Amino acid sequence: MSIVRIAYSANFADIGVMRALLADHGVPALEPRMSSHVSIAGADQGYYLEVLDEDAETARRLLKENDFDIFVVESKVGGFFDPGYNDG
């Protein structure tokens, strides 16, 4: 059983709404965590939505079906913690 990042947003409210949506459909999500990626211009602050590995496919599908697809994290990009990062 592992934890997978399924969404990223710079806005905590977006994460809260997505987390509530998942909960309404019986998909538990972990407490949101803040990213700590530091870029040349400074800190890139944002929040990750994480679920258990066995819930990841359902969670991503629910987010996409409810117009949250721009926040969905699908794959690892260059090893950085960004919207394209998935450690699962």
Residues 6+ apart with CB under 8 A from 2: 52, 53, 88
CATH value at residue 22:
3.30.70.1530
15 belongs to a structural domain: yes
80 belongs to a structural domain: no
8 belongs to a structural domain: yes
86 belongs to a structural domain: no
Q: How far apart are CA 16 and CA 56, in angstroms?
A: 17
Give me the sign of the Cα torsion angle 55, 60, 61, 62. Answer: positive
9 belongs to a structural domain: yes
Count up the domains in the chain and report the number. 1
49 belongs to a structural domain: yes
Tokens standing for residue 64:
């996409």
Range of the domain at 55: 3-71
19 belongs to a structural domain: yes
User: Whole-prediction pTM value?
Assistant: 0.75
The pLDDT averaged over each successive group of 10 residues in the chain (88 residues) is 88 94 96 66 75 94 96 63 46
81 belongs to a structural domain: no
Residue 45 has what pLDDT? 74
Residue 42 has what pLDDT? 57
